[in-house]
Structure 1
Amino acid sequence: MSSAIHAFTAIDGAVSHTKSLLWPFRAGVWLRLAVISLFIGGFGGGFNFFSFPDGGGHAGSGMPVDLFAPGAGFIFLLIGVILLLALFFGIIGSIFQFVFVDCLTTGEVSLSRTFGMRSGKGLRLFLFQVLFALLMVAAMIVVLLTIFLPVQSVGAPNLLALIILVPAALLILVIIGIVLMLTIDFVVPVMIRSDCGVIDGWRHALAFLRPDLVNAAAYVVFKFLLGIVLGLIALVLALIAAAVIAVPLVAVGVVAGIALGNAAVPVYLLLLLIGIVVAVPVLLLVQVPFATFLRYYSLGVLGRFSPEYDLLARPEGSGAVSD
Structure 2
Amino acid sequence: MIYTVTFNPAIDYVVRMDDLKLGEVNRASYEAMFFGGKGINVSIVLNELGIKSRTLGFTAGFTGEAIENGLRSMGIDADFVRLEKGNSRINVKIKANEETEINGQGPHIDDNALTSLFEKLDNLKDGDTLILAGSIPNSLPSDIYEKIMQRLSGRNIKTVVDATKDLLLNVLKYKPFLIKPNNHELGEMFGIKLSTIEEIEEYARKLQEKGARNVLISMAGDGALLIDENGKTHISGVCKGIVKNSVGAGDSMVAGFVAGSLDGNYEYALKLGTAAGGATAFSDGLATKEKITELLNTL
Q: Same fold (TM over 0.5)?
A: no
Higher relative contact order (Cα pairs below 8 Å, separated by 6+ residues): 1
Higher Cα radius of gyration:
1
TM-score by length of 1: 0.25
Identify the structure with the greater strand proportion.
Answer: 2
